[in-house]
Structure 1
Amino acid sequence: MELKNLHTVKKILETGSYQKAANALNYAQSTVTFQIKQVEGELGIQLFERKGRRMILTAAGMEVIPLIDQIIADAERLTHTGQQIGQITGELKIAVPESLVTYQLQPLLLKFKALAPDVKLTIQVLNCYDIYEKMVSEKLDLAIHYDVKPYSPDIALRHFGRFPLVLVASPKIDPILRDFTTANQNKQVCHLQNDPNALYLKIFDEYLRTKHIALATPMELWSIETIKRSVQSNLGVAYLPKFTVNAELTKHELIELPTDITANNLEAVVACRRVDEQQPPIRLFLKLINETFGKTADHSVEA
């Protein structure tokens, strides 16, 4: 006996007609009629009879309704129990750089919390070198960061993305200060930065040293959003992952300044200890990374 047929019996009892039940269930009336005939054939009784414009239960139908109610209730309890057994619980500790958690991971985090609301999710926002050290010292379950150095083989790496970098300034910047390709300059422009240890800032600082370009005293700000606002206000220039400023570049609120930096991109990775990969919270998070950011490549590296 099919459960959906029993739900149809209850819907006819609730609405008083085959047609109204069909409308409520989004069935054709012929489907409802067929389902009731199936139930009646299996039980060997007539369930309904017409009284005026309504379909009412026969005496036999009234006797079986409590049993039908019990079957439906038991099925719902069984489904609920199965869902509870399959729920993901526990704790997941992740560390991510500010740029990735703010501009890349928000849709993924939304999906994760919807699918695993009972998991205690802790996200630490750190620079890539600190994230690496915490992952090596087993203080994290997952690490997502720009690739800084190789891990030992017991840690699996997945490719997260390749992200171009860009030097940005306000459209109001003096044209004389826009040249970052000519060597041997002393420029009265401030470099706005959020963390001197950020990998992309190390790339830019090395470029300035190689080109012998000296800038004014840098200004350290607490977030990328603050840096962007400050650049828009013409307080200085900033070297950032391009995805963090795409919107402002599109709206011409910021402009891109050319450089001769050849390694003008960052590779981001996801790191996880191999022995932990099958833990439900970690497995779900890795699955969402794969679905959100494309097929990942697991590639272990030697220390």
Structure 2
Amino acid sequence: MDIRQLRTFHRVAALGSFTRAAAELNYAQSSVTAQIQSLEVSLGGELFERFGGKVKLTPAGTRLLPYAGQMLALADEARGAASPDAQPEGVLTIGTMESITSYRMPPVLEYFHHRYPRLQIALRPSLCAETLHSLRQGLFDAGFLMEAETQHSGVHSEVLGVEPLVVVASPGHRLAGATKVETDDLRQESVLAPEAGCAYRELLEAELNDGTGEPVPFLEFGNIEAIKRGVGAGLGISLLPRMTVGQELSAGTLVPLAWEPPFELFTQLAWRKGAQLSRERRVFVEQVIEFLSREYQES
């Protein structure tokens, strides 16, 4: 069992695919397969179940995963201590969500691309609950959360800022010109929303269903761009992070409704509690906090 085998095992577990792990690590797929098989032989048992082109951890693989993460982090820390002037390198896997990826991360990724060209940032779309689970399992090096709660078991989280939310509608909507919109007004509308598990959807759903007896129906549109198009076409209203609709509000293709959310949502950067931050993870955490905290303060 060596560090290269453990790194390969860790990437296959994170990506659920030998092919994707090979591409990310810049190995031939046969090399990935050979490394995993060699690791399985040395440990005396199978680490993955293979089915339909995908792989899933066996119980033995699940038990090995957190240890692999710790050993890789320690190896990275040792390398950094031995070569303090070396540039950060390798792959960081970051759990994130559509709104952060599309609207907050581009300048951060541009900075890392130019400042640390040997460090690859791999963004993995993930709901907050999935991100927390993957952080605890050591599958993600860090992850973004957008939650009302700021304390999470097993992970450390740094609040980047309060995420401004806005209810939007088409310019011709009946509530578009109202000076004040009540929650009861929203209960009469079709609500377009992302998939279940999204924090701001769940907060709005709880608010609209509170004490009403009959749940307000939500229309799932999958992603933010589809939601914006549906709202613009007059199919209903939607609660979205303000950053995702800035261009549409400026252009007048969508309008904000005069409803103030009675809850707050905090965007956070999180990593596994107790884990030693490697040089690469420390650079990422420090730079993201600096970039995005400043952006939230200015917004």
TM-score surpassing 0.5? yes
1:256 corresponds in structure 2 to: 256
Superposition pairs of residues 45-56 of structure 1, within 5 angstroms? none
- Tell me whether 1:241 sits opposite 2:241 in the alignment: yes
Q: Which position in structure 2 is the counterpart of 1:10?
A: none
Sort the Cα spacing of 1:225 and 1:278 in 2 relative to 1 into closer, same or farther, 3 A: same
Q: Give the TM-score taking structure 2 as reference length.
A: 0.61
Tell me if 1:140 matches 2:140: yes
**Deviations, residues 123-152 of structure 1 (Å, cap 9, x unaligned):** 111111111121122211101111346334
In 2, Cα distance between equivalents of 1:293 and 1:269: 10
Give the Cα–Cα distance (whole angstroms) in 2 for the partners of residues 160 and 182 of structure 1. Answer: 28
Q: Which range moves more in the overlay, 224-233 or 140-149? A: 140-149
Structure 1 range deviating more: 164-173 or 107-116:
107-116
Once the two structures are TM-superposed, the CA of residue 98 in structure 1 deviates from its matched residue by 1.2
Aligned partners of 1:88 and 1:281 also within 8 Å: yes
**1:248-300 residue CA offsets vs partner (Å, 9 max, x unmatched):** 2222221112335321x31111112355554122122122213312479xxxx
Q: For 1:176 and 1:111, how far apart are their aligned partners in 2?
A: 39
Normalising by structure 1, we get a TM-score of 0.61
2:247 counterpart of 1:266: no
Instruction: Give 1:194-233 correspondences, 5 Å limit.
Output: 194-210=194-210, 212=212, 217-233=217-233
Match of 1:125 in 2: 125
How far apart are the structure 2 equivalents of 1:176 and 1:165? 17
Report the CA distance shift for 1:125/1:181 in structure 2 as closer, same or farther (over 3 A). Answer: same
Q: Is the 8 A contact 1:186 1:213 kept in 2?
A: no
Q: After superposition, where does 1:3-152 map in structure 2 within 5 Å?
A: 86-147=86-147, 148=149, 150-152=151-153
Question: 2:104·2:292 contact (CA, 8 Å) conserved in 1?
Answer: no
State the match for 2:184 in structure 1.
183
The corresponding residue for 1:287 is 286
Counterpart of 1:7 in structure 2 is: none
- The 8 Å contact of residues 249 and 256 in structure 1, kept in 2 or not, is answered as yes
CA contact (8 A) 1:184 1:212 kept: no
Residues 228 and 284 of structure 1: is their aligned pair in 2 closer, same or farther, counting only changes over 3 Å?
same
Distance 1:161 1:277, change over 3 A: farther
Q: Which amino acid aligns with 2:271?
A: C
CA contact (8 A) 1:185 1:213 kept: no
Structure whose residues are more often strand by fraction: 1
Letter in 1 for 2:152: Y
Deviation at residue 227 of structure 1 after TM alignment = 1.1
Task: Look at both structures and tell me which one has the larger radius of gyration over its CA atoms.
Answer: 1
Secondary structure, aligned partner of 1:259 = coil
Question: Quick one: distance in 1 between partners of 2:118 and 2:103?
Answer: 25
Percent identity between the two aligned chains: 23
Residue equivalent to 2:161: 161
2: CA distance, partners of 1:168 / 1:200: 14
In structure 2, what is the Cα distance between the partners aligned to 1:277 and 1:104?
Answer: 26
State the SS of the aligned residue for 1:272.
Answer: strand
Look up the equivalent residue of 1:120 and give its one-letter code: Q
Distance (whole Å) between structure 2 residues aligned to residue 117 and residue 221 of structure 1: 36
CA 1:228–1:214: 2 relative to 1, 3 Å: farther
After superposition, the C-alpha distances for 1:25-51 in whole angstroms (9 at most, x for unaligned) are xxxxxxxxxxxxxxxxxxxxxxxxxxx
Q: Please tell me the root mean square deviation across aligned C-alpha atoms, in Å.
A: 3.2
Distance verdict in 2 for CA 1:248–1:206, change over 3 Å: same
After the TM superposition, which of the residue ranges 99-108 and 215-224 deviates more from structure 2?
Answer: 215-224
Q: How many residues are paired up? A: 211
Query: Do the aligned residues in 2 keep the contact of 1:183 with 1:212 (CA within 8 Å)?
Result: no
- Structure 2: tracts of 5 or more residues without a match: 1-82
Task: Note closer, same or farther for the CA distance 1:260–1:103 as it changes in structure 2 (3 Å cut).
Answer: closer
| 1:211/1:113 CA distance change after superposition, 3 Å | farther
Q: How far has the Cα of 1:204 moved from its partner?
A: 0.7
Structure 1 residue matching 2:210: 3-state secondary structure: helix
| SS of residue in 2 equivalent to 1:86 | coil
8 Å CA contact retained: 2:142, 2:271: yes
2-side partners of 1:252 and 1:285: how far apart?
A: 37
Q: Distance in 1 between matches of 2:273 and 2:186?
A: 49
- 1:115 Cα offset (Å): 2.3
Amino acid at match of 2:227: I
